[in-house]
Amino acid sequence: MSAILFFRPLFLAERGRFAATLLLALVALGAGVALLGLSGWFLTGASLATAALSFNLFAPSAAVRGLSFLRIAARYGEKLVGHDATLRVLGTIRAWLFHRLMPRVGALRPGLRRGDLVSRLTADVDALDTAFLLAVGPLLGSLLVGAAMVLALAILLPDAALVYAAGWTAATLLVPALFVRASHRGGAAAASVEAAAMLRVACLDTIDGHADIVAFGARPWAEARFTEEARWLGALRKSQGRRAARAGAAIQALAGATLLGTLVLGLRAHGAGEIEGPLMVGLLLAILASFEASAAVMRSVARLAEAEAAARRLREAATGPEAVIEPADPTALPPGGAVAFESVRFGHRADRPVLRNLDLCVPAGAQVAIRGASGAGKSTLLHLLLRLAEPQAGRIRLAGADIAAVRLADLHARVALLEQNAPVFLDTVRGNLLVGRADAGEAELWDALDRARLGDTVRAMPRGLDTELGEGGRTLSAGQARRLGLARVLLSRAAVLALDEPTSGLDREAELAFLRDLRSACAGRTVLLVTHAETEPGFFDRQYRLVDGRLLPDQ
């Protein structure tokens, strides 16, 4: 339970609603047991009465109706309040998790797949709903009902109290505990949660790679992979289900044995005149009803094991190291756009440096191109400037300030990045552009689009700026998606533009035109552009080549 308890503060925010749920669940459970007990007593009493007149029919039948109504109302209220509280908590957990994940995404272990992360934010959070509704509630309810039954038997049929206590303890505590142990021992619950996540990964992978899979005739391969994941999940759930069914059968057997034991002891007490027949029947039926609560515990425990595994995965995602730490005592970022790298060393693995003691000095407003072979470290250099990763040695300065000492929000307001695979969000053209500057007006949006040479394309779209672009920009060509990313960067007010391959996706003519226009489009801003493209003299103030982790003057 330790992983679930990690989320306790978020659950406690709804403690009022959860307490009301618990109370209503107890009322429903108590009313159910009392209803069956009373009915048993009533029916037996009525049938044993020689003359109907000698038995008061009115009071018990009114009580039966009252209890059944109370049970229905309490059950309804419990579901209503409980689900409301749970949905609120799940919403809070999702928002909290998203907030925690954002600074950690860059530092997630490389093996962690997108689909797995989605799985954590959705299915794993959902699994936590069992933590209260299906676990704590039934367990507490069952404990209280069990204790009440032991007390009632101790008063009315003392011989049977011990038998019931033993049967009930075994059914409510021992069997679920053994089930949890068996599930933990095989790691079944964790494996099942993992398998469900992997199935989502396989599904997303297949959708993303759909065109290639079709083109290569690899559908059998994709289907076999998906089927294999599905089969694995199915097998794990089946064996978990089998274990749960065995435990359920054990509870039924214990309920039967307890009932039988109580019946034998009850008949003996009845023979000795210690208990009346109707009361004994009432007790027997109440015992039967109380074991329903034990079966509910078993069902919740079965789901609780998965909730615990899901909580562990959520905790891992929410508490991992942050990619970049905010400075504890940030310094103010002076105005300006001068950029300097001072003996910067970085490697994704410390023993494999990508940049080695790299120096670069770009005065404010200067435009610099950096060329280099694929894998030379060009994107890495730009990422370091935005503190998407931290150098292992050296310092990067912006407007004279060490970027490690300034607030991330200040840094990101000053430096805009056009990523190599700049995303197109599931939104309109306008929505995608406003990510660059939320308060941009209509004229500024069109200006940015024109400067990125995308204005005419958007004008020809049916709804212009309000055209929906589809997931991942599916309705755009790769070159158009690229230019949309560029327009977003041009729209921002950042004094420094970090452009990663801004002309990829453009033909050579458009590429040269873009590079030629860049000077006026970005006038007054510092530009660091990394590219494979051949540039021409005069396009940039300075040009470098990135070779062996160092910058050499180019041309």
Contact residue for ligand ATP among 130, 258, 380, 526 (CB under 6 A)? 380
Contact 413, 494 (CB under 8 A): yes
Q: Which residues contact 422 (CB under 8 A, 6 or more apart)?
A: 481, 482, 484, 485, 486, 488
Contact residue for ligand ATP among 60, 282, 353, 372 (CB under 6 A)? 372
Q: Give the DSSP letter string of 92-132.
A: HHHHHHHHHHGGGGGGS-TT--HHHHHHIIIIIHHHTHHII
Query: In the bound complex, what is the minimum distance in angstroms from residue 532's beta carbon to ligand ATP?
Result: 6
CA separation for the pair 506, 510 (Å, rounded): 6
CA separation for the pair 155, 382 (Å, rounded): 79
Which one, of 374, 399, 371, 375, lies nearest residue 385 by Cα? 399
Q: What is the four-CA torsion angle of 89, 95, 100, 106, rounded to 10 degrees? A: 140
Query: In the bound complex, what is the minimum distance in angstroms from residue 422's beta carbon to ligand ATP?
Result: 13
Query: In the bound complex, what is the minimum distance in angstroms from residue 176's beta carbon to ligand ATP?
Result: 44
Question: Which residue is listed with tokens 């992979």?
Answer: 225
Contact 197, 114 (CB under 8 A): no
Contact residue for ligand ATP among 210, 246, 348, 508 (CB under 6 A)? 348
Q: Mind spelling out the 3-state secondary structure of 398-421?
A: ECCEEHHHCCHHHHHHHEEEECCC
Footprint of ligand ATP on 71-110 (CB under 6 A): 110
Footprint of ligand ATP on 413-432 (CB under 6 A): 420
Counting runs of H as helices and runs of E as strands, what totals does the chain give?
A: 21, 10
Task: HSE, CB side, 13 Å, CA atoms: give it for residue 98.
Answer: 8
- Amino acid at residue number 244: A
- Only one of the segments 137-145, 149-157, 331-339, 368-376 lies at the binding site for ligand ATP (rule: CB under 6 A); that segment is 368-376
CA separation for the pair 427, 14 (Å, rounded): 34
Query: In the bound complex, what is the minimum distance in angstroms from residue 348's beta carbon to ligand ATP?
Result: 3
CA separation for the pair 508, 530 (Å, rounded): 16
> Binding to ligand ATP by residue 378, rule CB under 6 A?
yes
> Binding to ligand ATP by residue 374, rule CB under 6 A?
yes
| DSSP class of 73 | H
Both structure tokens of 260: 């039988």
Query: In the bound complex, what is the minimum distance in angstroms from residue 420's beta carbon to ligand ATP?
Result: 6
- Only one of the segments 218-226, 228-236, 373-381, 474-482 lies at the binding site for ligand ATP (rule: CB under 6 A); that segment is 373-381
Residue 349: phi, psi to the nearest 5?
-120, 135
C-beta closer to ligand ATP: residue 278 or 377: 377
C-beta closer to ligand ATP: residue 110 or 220: 110
Query: In the bound complex, what is the minimum distance in angstroms from residue 471's beta carbon to ligand ATP?
Result: 24
345: which strand partners? 393
Both structure tokens of 406: 């300034």
- Only one of the segments 68-76, 336-344, 376-384, 504-512 lies at the binding site for ligand ATP (rule: CB under 6 A); that segment is 376-384
Contact residue for ligand ATP among 29, 344, 354, 499 (CB under 6 A)? 354
Pairing, β 367-372 against β 542-547: parallel
> Binding to ligand ATP by residue 485, rule CB under 6 A?
no
C-beta closer to ligand ATP: residue 169 or 504: 504
CA separation for the pair 167, 250 (Å, rounded): 11
Both structure tokens of 477: 């060509």
C-beta closer to ligand ATP: residue 106 or 431: 106
> Binding to ligand ATP by residue 304, rule CB under 6 A?
no
Query: In the bound complex, what is the minimum distance in angstroms from residue 377's beta carbon to ligand ATP?
Result: 4
Query: In the bound complex, what is the minimum distance in angstroms from residue 379's beta carbon to ligand ATP?
Result: 3
C-beta closer to ligand ATP: residue 29 or 533: 533
Query: In the bound complex, what is the minimum distance in angstroms from residue 500's beta carbon to ligand ATP?
Result: 7
Contact residue for ligand ATP among 60, 141, 377, 502 (CB under 6 A)? 377
Contact 505, 479 (CB under 8 A): yes
C-beta closer to ligand ATP: residue 87 or 552: 552
Query: In the bound complex, what is the minimum distance in angstroms from residue 380's beta carbon to ligand ATP?
Result: 3
- Amino acid at residue number 355: L
Query: In the bound complex, what is the minimum distance in angstroms from residue 539's beta carbon to ligand ATP?
Result: 19
- Only one of the segments 136-144, 225-233, 371-379, 462-470 lies at the binding site for ligand ATP (rule: CB under 6 A); that segment is 371-379
CA separation for the pair 265, 260 (Å, rounded): 9
Count of residues that interact with ligand ATP, criterion CB under 6 A: 12
CA separation for the pair 79, 406 (Å, rounded): 50
- Only one of the segments 141-149, 281-289, 324-332, 372-380 lies at the binding site for ligand ATP (rule: CB under 6 A); that segment is 372-380
> Binding to ligand ATP by residue 111, rule CB under 6 A?
no
Q: Which helix (H) or strand (E) holds 441?
A: none
Contact residue for ligand ATP among 175, 376, 386, 498 (CB under 6 A)? 376
Query: In the bound complex, what is the minimum distance in angstroms from residue 506's beta carbon to ligand ATP?
Result: 16
- Only one of the segments 263-271, 378-386, 429-437, 444-452 lies at the binding site for ligand ATP (rule: CB under 6 A); that segment is 378-386
Q: First CA to last CA across the chain, in angstroms?
A: 64
Contact residue for ligand ATP among 375, 462, 538, 553 (CB under 6 A)? 375
Q: How much is the CA Rg of the chain, to the nearest whole Å?
A: 34
340: which strand partners? 361, 397
> Binding to ligand ATP by residue 261, rule CB under 6 A?
no
> Binding to ligand ATP by residue 379, rule CB under 6 A?
yes
Both structure tokens of 231: 């089969």
Chain residues in the site for ligand ATP (CB under 6 A):
110, 348, 354, 372, 374-380, 420
